[in-house]
Structure 1
């Protein structure tokens, strides 16, 4: 990549910092401000790869445009035209201009599939309820929570998360919808088995707030993207909810005050715990707030 980008001048920047690509191991995501720039980037990368005896896989390489105007320019690798898509998967997450909803719905589907595969465990009467719940959290819920720090939550998404969690608990407890058992009764049985606990939505909020505090103390690209600004204005009409809108709503602070508070680790811990306590009271859920900050960098 160093050789390929030596003479490349990108136009995508955040707060004046050029961002030409994102890469992790052999997964590379190139960024360009227009089609000609992207074609030049692909050509230089293809040439540099050939110098080291490697080649770009045209089959696995996709192009996605974040623009209302239709794409016209054909970009080729080894004589093959690269496919244009409206979404693609990068590091296990779906990237699309529709926000995080497609990724969350995909996670819900994957979680449901994992839940069904473990049916023999849920039906095994020799395994205690508390053990089944621990297995549910480690083998099923962990699939759903992957990269949840990057999600944008709204009322519809929060409703879907609660519904999925109840579906998991009902399957674990062997409760059919024909039994007409309320969600409150399901929650009571889970609490009786493992005691007070944070629900799934609370865990998502907690992880996102912790990551915000962790990133605020860093000095890398993540902080630049989270706090930086880009040239241009937002489109006319109703605006889509942004990632940091959740932070503002949950804490009750404007972003400039949130950044200042996040710089103080202890103060940010108090802000997060206060938000979680308020969240549990508003939603009517019982939960135990756990002050477990190990490994979060907060």
Structure 2
């Protein structure tokens, strides 16, 4: 069921929430920001687990990936990634890892050191931004091999002129990147 949803990013624009995802005329940024907020709230609710010294770091990371990152990654296949949203996704992942490791920004430990400590705990793993991009490519491949309405919509064009300004980044612009 759809209902009118007021975007937090811009009050003058309209958007709506459908099946838990925010559909906005300004792109994917409101959806990504909402997902970051929901994942951060889930991370905060599990504070007792993150602070418990009896739970191994590898278990904490597995819990974070299943309980927090799954909330964030919902419907990520439809996002249009810009440089700003990519930075926000990486910052959210680092915030989660620092919370698990008990590292504050006042400790002056670099992001690379945080990644190294995580690698030592669970071995090589895929970072969050790579996961989003991989899921987008997987969905694109699925759609291009099918012969349904989604393929027609993805490959279709809209008649009419284009307004004068810089072209907005489209979902399919991320595929060649």
Q: Distance in 2 between matches of 1:148 and 1:234?
A: 28
Aligned: 1:97 with 2:21: no
Aligned to 1:169: 97
Over the residues paired in the alignment, what is the CA RMSD in angstroms? 1.7
Aligned to 2:158: 230
Unaligned runs of 5+ in 2: 7-11
TM norm structure 2: 0.92
Quote the offset at 1:219 in angstroms. 1.5
Q: Which one is further off, 145-154 or 220-229?
A: 220-229
Residue matched to 1:152 = 80
Which has the larger helix fraction?
A: 2
Match of 1:183 in 2: 111
* Counterpart for residue 66 of structure 2: 138
Q: 1:144 to 1:63 in 2, by over 3 A?
A: closer
Structure 2 residue corresponding to 1:88, chosen from 16, 25, 36: 16
Give the number of aligned pairs: 172
TM-score (norm 1): 0.56
Structure 1 runs (4+) greater than 6 angstroms displaced: none
| 1:215-294 pair list within 5 angstroms | 215-248=143-176, 250=177
Per chain length, whose mean CA-contact separation is higher, i.e. which structure has more relative contact order (CA < 8 Å, sep 6+)? 2
CA distance, structure 1, for counterparts of residue 82 and residue 13 of structure 2: 26
Rounded to whole Å, the distance in 1 between the matches of 2:37 and 2:131 is: 19
